[in-house]
Amino acid sequence: MKILQSIQKVPGGLMVVPLFIGMLLNTLAPDAMKIGGFTQALTNVGYPTFLAMYLFTVGTKMTLNAAPTMLKRGFGIMFAKVGTAVLVALAVAHFFDGDVFGLTTLAVLAAMNDTNGGMFLALTSTFGNKEDAGTYVPQSIETGPFLTMLVLVGAGLAVIPWLTMVSVIAPIVAGAILGNLDEDLRDFFGSHEEIIIPFMAFTLGQGINLNAITKAGIPGIFLGLSVLVITGMVCIAVDKLLGGSGIAGAAASSTAGNSTGTPQAVAMADPTFAAIAPIATLQVAASVIVTAVLTPLLTAFVYRRVQKQKQQQQACTADSQTV
């Protein structure tokens, strides 16, 4: 059976498929794997470990001598994504008293500022080129709840101990240091990142119930559409402005699966968010699912437009040469 090949045909399949399997199992039989030992370690309780491993391997790829164009576009897309998330979230906080159409500031920020890295890499590898995929190196700074915590603290919307925030970014920093000190370590950990992704996705899915969409209701679906349209348009525009085709920008229009843990992480760091963390988690989960379906479609659409433009340019060049 060609199971792996079938999974890889799905955009971001190594992340999306295990995530959906985990969610499906958690929805239909939530206690099936809660039998203790190593089996239970593969449920949501093991997610922090796999996330830490993933953050470390991502960090090893953050080389100081990366191609300038790749870094420029990567940081450009990252700042566009995070900047858009911050502006929208602050607008919700200050003009709508932290709640607009049932969406909280926490849900908006968590969903908008963290790109699904596995999906991004899969989509840029499929529709783009090595430079498109490489732009994720600086973008990976978004991974996890660190930036969300940083924005909330900076905006005066949360009080979170700095040591807690440092603990979130520490695996990335450790990976970056070792990756820059030893090229062999960077190649070793970087080449094994894909092994971690399915486990991380499955354990994450074990903490999400597919009924989240119905429970999150229209606000959760609206959040996913907002992430796709708003951050997608901005990231595509910035990518093109910095010399890209827009494919990498389109691939960044998703909500990362690990962002579903951000509301709870923030609530643990600042108990004042405890009351809204559950609904924010459901809304972010809905956004993950919505963008998991629609981001590949948007990326494919941009890819077709890019190919059409190339064909038109080639035709014009051929006509001019003929004349």
pLDDT band at 192 (very low <50, low <70, confident <90, very high): confident
7-21, 23-37, 119-133: least confident range: 7-21
CA distances from 134 to 56, 63, 140 (A): 17, 11, 10
> How many other CB atoms are found less than 10 A from the CB of residue 109?
31
Residue 250 clears pLDDT 90, i.e. is over it: yes
CA distance 65 to 56: 19
pLDDT band at 249 (very low <50, low <70, confident <90, very high): very high
Element (H, E) at 224: helix 212-226
CA distance 262 to 258: 7
Element (H, E) at 318: helix 277-322
Average pLDDT, the chain: 81
Mean pLDDT confidence for 152-171:
70
Residues ≥6 apart with Cβ < 8 Å to 41: none
Residue 78 vs residue 204, higher pLDDT: 78
Express each pLDDT in 38-66 by its tens digit: 888 888 788 778 877 877 887 787 666 65
Amino acid letter, 198: P
CA angle, residues 192, 197, 201, in degrees to nearest 5 = 165
Retrieve residue 263's tokens.
Answer: 């509301």
What domains sit in the chain, N to C, each tagged with a CATH number?
A: 45-306 (1.20.1530.20)
CA distance 137 to 60: 9
CA distance 183 to 180: 7
Residue 116 vs residue 229, higher pLDDT: 229
> How many other CB atoms are found less than 10 A from the CB of residue 206?
25
CA distance 22 to 292: 15
Residue 227 clears pLDDT 90, i.e. is over it: yes
What is the 8-class DSSP label of residue 66?
A: S
**Which residue spans within the chain are E strands per DSSP?**
99-100, 103-104
Q: At what angle do helices 105-112 and 262-269 cross, to 10 degrees?
A: 130
Global pTM? 0.70
CA angle, residues 125, 128, 132, in degrees to nearest 5 = 85
Beta bridge partners of 100: 103
Residue 308 clears pLDDT 80, i.e. is over it: yes
Express each pLDDT in 119-142 by its tens digit: 787 788 778 776 787 777 777 777
The answer to whether the beta carbons of residues 10 and 201 sit under 8 Å apart is no
Q: What is the pLDDT of residue 225?
A: 95
